[in-house]
A and B are shown apart, each in its own frame.
Chain A
């Protein structure tokens, strides 16, 4: 179970807003975390608490392939990202590094900034404790479920090789 407050943003949040390129001269996770969402909401890092949840519209993570984007979000201890849908490369990267992401248009429609949210990753259920609502997320394909269960792509591959 993941629980935290929601921070809600709009459509097409791109990777330059998630982690601007001027901070890409390093891949040190702690350093990236300090600048997460800086060009979208410069107060985000100060106001967020561990396990808080980013909620956004469609095409979250569009733009560059920088894995530093999901890495910055994960390293900042964001609990999960809920969006109507995700840009393709961001989706892959998040699954590969073990950042929980959920596609759920009803959750995005229902959740407001500041709502208290609880997520059951096993069932894909999202609970809005503030509004007393429940939303379902789009299930991951079986193939990706295996990667998520292993905790990321490379641990999944290592386990597969051992067999």
Chain B
């Protein structure tokens, strides 16, 4: 093997390289790649299907095992129109013999569901018509969001064109403080970079803190790479990844890592011992503050869920607070297990009992309120602390409502207090249960 002249590559470049044959996968190059998994949901799939049919008629999709359709955004269908949209997708899935079609009781939030079911794994190239498709980068995959027309093109050809992104490497050192997790790390990072700081680029999360971070924490971080404008977020796969995909992942995993001398457009070191629980104030995810620096902000609603923080670890953290403290009477508290599997796990662990006793509402798995769909919409002037990913104007309802982004500990503690508060403050209060 001639290895002498080989130009070093990052993990992102290596995955793209393995999917584009002879073309050179280096930053700035346009390449055509083979897609391992293509995803769309109840909002983006109807448009993709319409475009596919308009342009390619009754053609079969490139591979019915690689097309994934998850009807998660407005599930359970919130109105006639959303039901019609899902019906269109369901009929397409039947006609095309799509293997991975999910609605009703099998449906969960796509970016929690696909890893859980083993549809995505290390080394894959995954494209989804949903901006948070970047979540799967946590498994050491290249995963990126696109629109419906790109997905229609993949249905027809199995391929997509990409511009190979340059990579920003972020090295997380030090130790994590109490009540700090993946959500705080990524909010802190987005604050440093700005909401367009990684535009068109890859974000590679590395360092000792990431090596010790749970899979759920890594999913949260990769999930929000898009909120810094990134094309993908990625973590090099390791034993934690291998343990997660064992007995799940259908395919043979490919474990890749960045070359020691790979080129990065930027390297940033973040000392995690300085990071306190973060809260991103409206109306951009970059507006984050240490929770103890905020004034007393009264709230009307708390949402714990979404593709960002609706996993079992997130529910366990919320339960740690609700186990001893009830929800404040002025705060609607909505807990959304992200998938049926997480729901069952929470039931088995007794977490749902804890939530009900505390006075929270348990929702079926759905994206629902995160995007202002249903299941918890805000009125004018209302404020919500949410473990979701976007706090844009009108994101969860009325244009004059506000969303504050936080981790599950902060969200649960704030639900108890009635205002945004540090988890450790609530922990010191007299136990009610």
Contact = CB atoms under 8 A, between A and B. Distances in A.
A71 B152 CA distance: 15
Given A26-B85, A65-B130, A157-B157, A92 B147 contact: yes
B43 interface: yes
B79 to A, nearest CB: 6
A153 B51 CA distance: 11
Interface string B225-261: 0000101000000000000000000000000000000
A5 interface: no
B400 to A, nearest CB: 10
Interface in A33-78: 39-40, 58-59, 62-68, 70-71
Interface in A1-54: 12, 14, 16-17, 20-22, 24-27, 39-40
A27 B148 CA distance: 11
A87 B226 CA distance: 10
A101 to B, nearest CB: 13
Contacts of A153: 149-150, 153
A39 B393 contact: yes
B146 A65 contact: yes
Contacts of B284: 12
B147 A20 contact: no
A88 interface: yes
Contacts of A97: 149
Contacts of A89: 131, 145-147
B: interface residue count bin:
35 or more
A96 interface: yes
B78 interface: yes
A93 B147 contact: yes
Given A17-B394, A25-B82, A27-B47, A12 B149 contact: no
Given A65-B147, A92-B150, A96-B147, A26 B392 contact: no
Task: Name the residue in B78, B131, B163 with the highest tally of chain A Cβ atoms < 10 Å from its Cβ.
Answer: B131
Contacts of B207: none
Contacts of B46: 27
B200 A88 contact: yes
Given A21-B371, A24-B43, A63 B392 contact: yes
A143 B23 CA distance: 15
Contacts of A152: 149
Given A63-B131, A93-B149, A17 B196 contact: no
